Structure 1
Amino acid sequence: MSKKPDGPLRKGWTTGACATAATRAAWQALLSGEFPDPVTITLPRGETPSFALIKSEIGDGWARASVIKDAGDDPDVTHGAEIIATIRRAKTGVGITFHAGDGVGMITKPGLPLPVGEAAINPKPREMMTHQIIEIANKFNAAPDVEIEISIPGGQEIAQKTWNPRLGILGGLSVLGTTGVVIPFSCSAWIHSIHRGIDVARATGHNHVAGATGKTSEATIRKFYNLPEETILDMGDFVGGMLKYLRRNPVEYVTISGGFAKLVKLAQGHMDLHSSRSEVDFTKLAETVAALGGDDELVSEIIKANTAKQVLELCASKNVDIAGTIARQAGETARATIDGACAVEVVIIDRNGTIIARAGHGDFNAFKPA
């Protein structure tokens, strides 16, 4: 994740809010012959943002409008993308239907909020667009029978930077946003993706998922268990978000894999492992080493250590298995959080992709490394 800038942060608008604004503008133009520019919408919590139009085109039975997504100060991969809505009249009684244009994905796996075969336009944005269609239709005494097609040029390429391919959303991006507002650095989108990953794994019949703190630990644990892609969760620093969701939506087995420093924080009770939101307590680490039989000199060096990596190296020089103990302690923290919903294993992996400690795998009788 990008570094949070100093000072007050500017909020932005979700892809769903942008699609809703473009939909309103195109539908109003189709009924009146004129595009509102800027176009103003009301969001679920009452905000009334206005959007300047980039594209405004009209033809026989159709109209098209677009806006540029402004995610504020959030490092959103879709910031600056053009969100296009094309509205076409439909047969009387058909109602409102949603379609994926260029750069918007299609759902190919169960477990997501929409069924397989649907455009990846989430329920809340659909609700927001539907509200705009009905409101304008009532204003002009028209039937709300329309096809809404959302396009995001370049969306297929941008989607490769998201969870979409892993979740089975193919061909482009998702149109997301429950409130319409992007809160900078709220991490909600990442945690939402973890939850959807668990949903897909459950819906596709998998009973073992693995949350990884980074790419190295992800690649190592996936190869170790020969796990399919849809069972791997890009947990990052949000172990708490993953475990709390699993407590309510369990699978049989969960593996937590990551580097020593991150998992020391979990062992010490932290649920958010980001460096700006939790720190390694070296005094506690020294107490752990003392309990393992470390001598006074080693304990003193650990209290003064600068990094967890340094602690690992100091313990290795004295044959103290700190990694194994941290794996067990991290497992205890995770099991307390998950409250018995799943069997939990913790795997510590070094920067070279070597497993240096495992704890809890005795409960994984159904899973043996290939």
Structure 2
Amino acid sequence: MIDPVTGFSYPESWVANCRDAKALAAAESGFGVLTSTGSVLRRGFTTGSTAAAACYAAVASLAAPVDIAPILLPCGILAEIPAAGKDGEGFARKFSGDYPNDITAGILICAKASPAAEITLETGEGIGRFVRDTPRYAKGTAAVSPPAKKEILDAISSACRAAGLSGAAVFLTIPDGRRIGALTLNPKVGIEGGISVVGTTGFVEPWDDHLSETVSERIAGAENVVITTGRIGLRYSRLLFPEYEVVLAGSKIAESLAAAKHCRNAVICGLPGLILRFFHPEVATSRGFPTVEELIAGPDGISVLEEELARAKQKYPWLRIVIVDREGQVIGDTE
């Protein structure tokens, strides 16, 4: 059985351990994650997917009341997300599945829509904005990632077709976003005034404490393993190391490296942020940069990267460290 979200092939023993046919079907469809014990953890929906549902409900309700929003997630799976829509106003609450530490769980996302000649999207209260220029975003830009924005615009387009409209003007807000945003890492990365609307796959992964043992077991049981920290790293790690077991460990780098120490070949591969901060927590701030991304984009970024990798290699001589950019180009490698 293959996880349609990550492409991971579940071991037959994991499938055999699952005695709940409904739960197994959820894992097979991508709405759940199968663990080695046979239990299935529910995936939730990202802020991007939830915002898309609210926008769909707002636009579609211009024709008739709405209680479900059919949203095509960025990973290609169609999800029916609960949402309420009436007279051009749409609402959806973020469902976080079995992810235990999601600070945005249950947050309400709102949208207002009116007929228009074309599709437009504006953001307001509770959605953060960049307060300085960054390598990928200009100052003043709303903190809506490109995959999430496309998901939202696609949902609005779908709703326009359902309502028989040629276009719609949509205004998106998150009433409690300013308060929640201040509790996240947003202020540290130059985003103020609210939360970010993001999502690479459309799903929130239940990776946290629930899967620690499973991740460690997978790593310890592999002869050749690649540990990665996020979805972009996961994708490119599979391309760079097709014969290796690739394990998404998220922020649990320390536990993952402990499990990988006795593997024949162990690699950590991904974007620079989490990896460099693990080896040197003040890697960016000690050099006058707010974030690792801005450090690497600076004039001395690559030389600093090489310096940090050499230092990390001294501490972990058995570990190969590979850093990629968002386009999959290798920008640092200890071998």
TM-score range, shorter chain: 0.5 to 0.7
Q: 1:29 to 1:197 in 2, by over 3 A?
A: farther
Q: 1:121 to 1:266 in 2, by over 3 A?
A: same
When the two chains are superposed, the root-mean-square deviation of aligned CA atoms in Å is: 4.4
Please list, as runs of the form range in 1=range in 2, the aligned pairs for 1:128-143 lying within 5 A after superposition: 128-143=151-166
1:156 CA drift (Å): 2.2
> Match of 1:51, SS?
strand
Aligned AA (1:131): D
Match of residue 120 from structure 1: 143
Return the TM-score normalized by structure 1: 0.51
1:57 CA drift (Å): 5.0
Q: Which runs of 5+ in 2 are unaligned?
A: 1-34, 209-228, 235-249, 252-269
1:164 aligns with 2:186: yes
> 8 Å contact 1:25–1:36 — kept in the other structure?
yes
Q: 1:50 to 1:343 in 2, by over 3 A?
A: closer
Return the TM-score normalized by structure 2: 0.56
Query: Aligned partners of 1:183, 1:78: CA distance in 2, in Å?
Result: 14
Query: Aligned partners of 1:125, 1:51: CA distance in 2, in Å?
Result: 15
> 8 Å contact 1:104–1:175 — kept in the other structure?
yes
Please list, as runs of the form range in 1=range in 2, the aligned pairs for 1:1-370 lying within 5 A after superposition: 7-30=39-62, 32=63, 34-53=64-83, 56-58=85-87, 63-74=88-99, 75-90=101-116, 92=117, 95-111=118-134, 113-146=136-169, 148-185=170-207, 188=230, 211-213=276-278, 218=281, 225=286, 227-231=288-292, 251-254=302-305, 256=308, 267-270=316-319, 334=321
Query: Aligned partners of 1:80, 1:228: CA distance in 2, in Å?
Result: 33
Query: Aligned partners of 2:56, 2:293: CA distance in 1, in Å?
Result: 39
Query: Aligned partners of 1:340, 1:179: CA distance in 2, in Å?
Result: 23
Query: Aligned partners of 2:275, 2:206: CA distance in 1, in Å?
Result: 28
**Which structure's CA Rg is the greater one?**
1
Query: Aligned partners of 2:56, 2:203: CA distance in 1, in Å?
Result: 18
Q: Which has the higher strand share?
A: 2
> 8 Å contact 1:38–1:51 — kept in the other structure?
yes
Query: Aligned partners of 2:293, 2:136: CA distance in 1, in Å?
Result: 19
Query: Aligned partners of 2:275, 2:171: CA distance in 1, in Å?
Result: 36
Match of residue 247 from structure 2: none
1:42 CA drift (Å): 2.6
> 8 Å contact 2:49–2:148 — kept in the other structure?
yes
> Match of 2:194, SS?
coil
What do residues 82-114 of structure 1 show as CA deviations (whole Å, max 9, x unaligned)? Answer: 122222344x3xx33332222111123334555
